[in-house]
Every structure is written in C-alpha cells, then in structure tokens.
Amino acid sequence: MKKTKFIDYYILIPFIILSVTGVLMVYSASIYLALSEFDNPMHYMIRQSIFVGISFFVTSFMFFLPTKILKSTKIIMLAVFGIMALLIYLIFFGEEINGAKGWIDLGPIGLQPAEFTKIIVIWYFASVFSKKQSLIVNNFRKFIVKPLSLVVSIIFLIVIQPDVGGALIVLLVAFVMIISSGVSTKISFFFIGLGISGISAFFAAVIHFGEKMFPHTYQYNRFLAFWDPFSLSESTGLQLINSYYALSRGGLFGVGIGESVQKTGYLPEPYTDFIVSIVGEELGLVGIGALILLLAFLILRIFLVGIRAKSPFNSLVSIGVASLLLIQTSINLGGVLGLMPVTGVTFPFISYGGSSVLTISIGIGAVLNVSAQEKYIRQQNNHPLK
C-alpha cells in the first residue's frame, strides 16, 4: 500500500470528476429516450453508473499491477492475438448495430473489441519500441516491418466491420507512438508527410470517384453531409443540423440542465456520439469550455508524465494514452462541429458506452502506475520534480 503515496492526484482527480460528470450528462441526455423505450428514465444512467463503478475498480487494478506483469512480453502478445481473434470472430458472428458488426452480444451488455484494441496497440508498441531502442536508431526500416504489419492487420480487421472511426484512431495513435519512439527527425518528417499525403489523397479520391469509394452508401453520405448537411436535412445531414441547433440554442450559459429540446427525438442517440451538443445546449459555451479545459489539463498532465519518464516503456505508455484521449476528443468534436465527417467516435468520459469507459480506465490506471514508478525513482535519487 506504500504505492498509494506516489499516486498522481493531478490525473486521478480529473479522471473522477470527468467520469461522474459523464454519468450526470448521460442521464440528462438520455432521459427522454429511456422513458419512451424502457419506461424508466434512469435506464442509461444506471448502466453508465455500473460501467463507471467497474472502471474505478479496473483503474485501481492497473495501478497496483506489478511492473513485471505490465511489461511482460508474453502477456502483451497474448492480449494482441486475443484481440485479433475477437475481431475475426466479429466478421462471422458479430452483432450488427447501425450498419457495423462491431459488437459481441453478452446478454445485458455488448462488448466492442475495437475499443480495447486502442489500448492494446499502445501497450504493444510501448513494449516493442522500449526493448529495441538500438534497432530503432540504427536500422529503423528493418525493425518497423514486423510490428507495423501486425498493427496494420488489426486496423484492417476494424475497417471491414466497418468502423472507420475506430480504425482511424488506432492508426493515428500508432503514428504518434512511432514518431515518439526515438526515430530520427528525418524519419519523423517522412511519416508526417506520408500521413498528410495519405489524407489529402483520400479526400481527392472521394471527390473524384464519389460513392464508388465506399462499400456502403451511408458512408459516402456522411461525406456529403459534411460538405453540405442542409442538402441532406432529412437523412444523413439531420444529426449535424440538429447539433448546430443545440449549440446555437445553448448560447453562452445554456438553457439549464435537463432543459434540452434536441434530446427529445430530434438528435438521434444524443447520449453517445453527440452528447457534447446536449452539453452545449444545456450548459452553454461556458459548460463545454470547462469540460474541455479539464480534459485538456488531464491530457497535458499525462503527456508531462511521459516527457519526464526515464523509462522508455513508461514514457511511451503515457504518450500513447495522452494521444488516444487527444485524438478521440478531436475527432468527436470535429464531427459535432461539422469540421470533419461524422465517424461515430465517442467523447472520452462523457459519452455513454461500457467498452469506451473501460478502455479509458485501463489507460488511466496504467499511467497512474508508471507515474508512481517514476515518482518513486525520483525520490530514491532525490530528484526535485513533483
């Protein structure tokens, strides 16, 4: 229990506040639909509360997990191939929701393996990169083939569900970890250029080839809704338009908690991908700003843990988790504000969803663990940093 003396409260307290805020906002955003669908206004809130309660237990478990287990290559590879097996299982037996076969039906809950893939890829890359520092510096091209091929295979299995949003997050997190692994500036710029070129080429191809680029029409319609949502106001563009209405109605201070109009059947599933729109309507720009500032503080603190860490593994785990939170937040806000196509990505801590909540809790627990290790080492060396 001496480990608790080294717990990073700058991470723990924002994590708890954001998680509890998520439960309250899920209740407010889902009350109308829960009442009409289940005759119980607290249906989604109760489930989210259970998810958050389990997440606190998972975070504690990850915090107290011995370092040798956290860094065990055998356990990490077991997790990698286990998640790949689940993703392959989804192809044949996955439960289809909103056009994607991304869930495993477990009775009262649904497990979404793509969510857990995010943290497993971070864990895997942190392990591989931290143990092969000399190869990264001296022979990066030869070294990167095997781990990158494995991660690309995982991303492909997510894409064919199809879950483009989840695949994009895994790809971008992997990208950040590669350029943070100790590679030369030249290689970093190469990957950055490759990423920008790839995104530009994809958008150019969508503009040129249109619907032919996508296996499902609704995926192309999301791009059309991004470019001109009002032209699809009765179909794909409806969600974004109602998001605009919610944010506009909320103004600076909001209409008050529980007073949202858009959640009463106008904004589809307001407690998941577009919950920020309900936050904006009820709490206004001030409420959204406070939420984002708290999340930004948490992300920056985790990045700081990664920058200060002496252990390459600890550094990469922290940078990976911070990148995951930053990327997922940015993609969700981009969809809500119409700055990019809607991808079905949840807002960290606030959106409803058990798999998302548990994935984040695993990451936070791992960061608290490595932060405690680094604090202990600094204390042993009489290092002044806190």
How many angstroms separate the Cα of 312 from the Cα of each of 3, 11, 364?
Answer: 21, 20, 18
Cis peptide before 229 (omega within 30 of 0): no
Tokens linked to 105: 């039906």
Question: Taking the alpha carbons of 161, 166, 170, 172 in that order, is the dihedral positive or negative?
Answer: positive
Please tell me the distance from the alpha carbon of residue 319 to that of residue 176, in angstroms, as a whole number. 8
Compute the Cα dihedral for 205, 211, 217, 222 and give only its sign.
Answer: positive
pLDDT tens digits along 211-247: 777 767 777 777 877 887 887 777 778 888 899 999 9
* Dist. CA 28–CA 279, nearest whole Å: 9
Using CA atoms, how far apart are residues 87 and 286, in angstroms rounded to an integer? 40
Q: What is the pTM (predicted TM-score) of this model? A: 0.92
Tally of CB atoms within 10 A around 217: 10
Handedness of CA 20, 21, 25, 31 (dihedral sign): positive
Helix (H) or strand (E) holding 108: none
The amino acid present at 123, given as its one-letter code, is: W
Domain range summary for the chain, segments of one domain joined by +: 2-380
Tens-digit pLDDT profile for residues 259-291? 899 998 888 889 998 999 999 999 999 999 999
Provide the greatest CA pair distance for the chain.
64
Q: Are residues 290 and 299 in contact, defined by beta-carbon separation less than 8 angstroms? A: no
Q: Tens digit of pLDDT for each residue in 187-200?
A: 778 878 887 888 78
Q: What one-letter code names the amino acid at 241?
A: I
Cβ–Cβ under 8 Å, residues 295 and 329: yes
Cα angle, residue 90 at apex, residues 86 and 91 outer, rounded to 5°: 125
- What pLDDT band is residue 255 in, cutting at 50, 70 and 90? very high
How many C-beta atoms surround the C-beta of residue 40 within 10 A? 12
**pLDDT tens across 134-166, in order?**
667 677 777 788 888 999 999 999 988 888 888
Q: What pLDDT was estimated at residue 120?
A: 95
Give CA–CA dist 80/149, Å, rounded: 13
